[in-house]
Structure 1
Amino acid sequence: MLQLGIVLALLSALAANLGFLYKHRGANEAPVVDARHPIRTGLALWKSRWFAAGMIIGGVGWALHTAAISVAPMSVVQVVLAGGIVLVAVLADRVFGISVGRRQWAGLILTGVGLALLVVAMPAVTNAHATFRVAALAAFEGGLLTVGILLIAGGHHQRGAHMRGPLLGAAAGVLFGVCNVAVKATTGVLAAGGTILTPWVLVAISASILAYYISARSLQEGGAVEVIAITATGANVVGILGGLVVFGDPMANNTVGIVLQTVAFAMVVVAAALLPAPRAASAAPAAA
């Protein structure tokens, strides 16, 4: 089952990144996302064939991701998805003709390697680890929802205008991660013979709807590669932390493992600083 989970996660990464690139092109053809008119905004996005195709492809990726975390440990799935972040640049450059600078290539590679190291340094796991404590899950999800809302507020603040795309992308990634953790909890409940009618289903639906609009707005505000990579990184980090904090995935318990995980976190932080395009460069097209 572990091998099946890895294959499903790899296919999920490919579909998710391709879907995001389609949605980026479609979102920039649609009117600006307006939270005051969610239905009208949602319909306008779906009228774009690019965005609609991206949503369908992304939906397939989400289904593959759900299948992967139901048969494999969440942390193992996340390391495969982490490596898949580099696919964003390859697809953007080769398929969509989007220029990817050296700085962004460096950021993507650092992100993929950092997230991979973070999980590889953990002790080996062989089961899905879907068991959890309700209090831990509630605290984790509540805390991350707060972080997501703060990132949204930062993206809409005047001082953060030049970083609006990356900030909203990070918020969307956190919310997607919240949804994934809730889905993982639901699969654990079902595996134990419980019912699907749990509070975690409502959390997953609410987080995914909010992430849908925030992600679309982030794609309108920022460059494709930087926003998609930051969104994916946010979801990956939340997934890894969820595996550790909520579902009991083991942490490194030796010096080498602790050092590797510390270096990995540092790599992800540096990568997050490299991914956004320089302010002057990003302002030029807008002025033109």
Structure 2
Amino acid sequence: MSLNLGILLAFTCAIATQLGFLYKHKGANEAPTVDVRHPFRTAKQLYSCKWFAIGMAVATGAWIFHVAALAYAPLSVVQAVLSTGVVILAVMAERIFGFQVARRQWVGVAMTALGLMLLVITLPAVHGAHSGYSLVGMILFEGAMLVIGALLIGGKHLGMPDHHHGVMLGAAAGVLFGVSDIAIKGLTGADGIAGVVTSPWLAVTVGASVIAFYASARGLQDGEAVPVIAATSTAANVSCILGGIVVFGDPMPSDTVGICVQAFAFVLVVAAALVTPPPVRAAAVNAAH
């Protein structure tokens, strides 16, 4: 019963997350350019845009459903359900928000969804909430993800192409959301409210979420909705799946076929990241600002 409830909560989170991102994209492009040197002014400007504020309200609801899902189901199961979000994103973007989702983007979305689904269905089943974790694994994994997020954020200054900046920021936000989610999963096993408040992972959750907020908002300004949001969702999903294995000891496939399928799944996800972004239109949007 608890596992089914966790799956239902995760599916609700998947829908709300993509809806919130689309509203935030609409609002972010009506706001002045995000400037992390002035975080409070930037946050005020973003929240002054009605659509961004609505998006954040929806995203907050999605976050609550996500935390609840993590309390009832293993991390790998939650991510399996959340991986459907990239398909939900494309459908809502085209049908509800009127975005023109090009064939190239649909191909990228399909490859991402297939890769994520192959990744999660090859993970052996686990039972219970599976909240116990390795402290060393948590520290090393979270530290490595923070470094990757920082590199993606600084990609423009490291010589990466400008027209990929929005997607890189979206991916950085996803990695940092993954850092936050892994820390939250650890907190679900804490000993009551006192254990949560005194845990260092609470600070990691808050810090990663704040940085991800600004990276995501700027990414939504610099890139198109579908590729940027898909990059965010995919990076968060992959980070959490890896975190489930490294930190919480979720089992990996023990047979050669399962390992090969997982390797193919990762290749699909990476290839999708190269297929999805439309550089010309993204650059045009960026120049218009």
TM-score interval, normalised by the smaller of the two chains: over 0.9
Q: Is residue 251 of structure 1 aligned with residue 252 of structure 2?
A: yes
CA drift of 1:283 comes to 3.5
Tell me which residue corresponds to 1:67.
68
RMSD of equivalent CA atoms:
1.6
Distance in 1, Cα, partners of 2:193 & 2:254? 29
Q: Which amino acid aligns with 2:268?
A: M
- Tell me: CA distance 1:195–1:212, structure 2 relative to 1, closer, same or farther (3 Å): closer
CA drift of 1:189 comes to 1.8
Distance in 2, Cα, partners of 1:268 & 1:158? 23
Q: Secondary structure at the match of 1:122?
A: coil
Q: Is residue 121 of structure 1 aligned with residue 118 of structure 2?
A: no
Tell me which residue corresponds to 1:282.
282
Distance in 2, Cα, partners of 1:163 & 1:2? 39
Q: Deviations over 1:208-235 (max 9, x none)?
A: 0000011000000000000000000000
Q: Which runs of 5+ in 1 are unaligned?
A: none
Paired residues for 1:39-118 under 5 Å: 39-118=40-119
- What TM-score comes out, normalization by structure 1 length? 0.96
Tell me which residue corresponds to 2:215.
214
- Tell me: CA distance 1:285–1:197, structure 2 relative to 1, closer, same or farther (3 Å): closer
Aligned residues: 287
CA drift of 1:131 comes to 0.4
The question of whether the paired residues in 1 share the 8 Å contact of 2:222 and 2:282 is answered with no
Q: Is residue 173 of structure 1 aligned with residue 188 of structure 2?
A: no
The question of whether the paired residues in 2 share the 8 Å contact of 1:186 and 1:196 is answered with no
Q: Which runs of 5+ in 2 are unaligned?
A: none
- What TM-score comes out, normalization by structure 2 length? 0.95
Distance in 2, Cα, partners of 1:287 & 1:214? 19
Q: Deviations over 1:177-227 (max 9, x none)?
A: 000000000111237994432000000000000000110000000000000
CA drift of 1:119 comes to 1.2
Sequence identity (%): 52
Q: Deviations over 1:31-67 (max 9, x none)?
A: 0000111000000000000000000000000110111
The question of whether the paired residues in 2 share the 8 Å contact of 1:83 and 1:113 is answered with no
Tell me which residue corresponds to 2:32.
31
Distance in 1, Cα, partners of 2:18 & 2:72? 22
Q: Which amino acid aligns with 2:179?
A: V
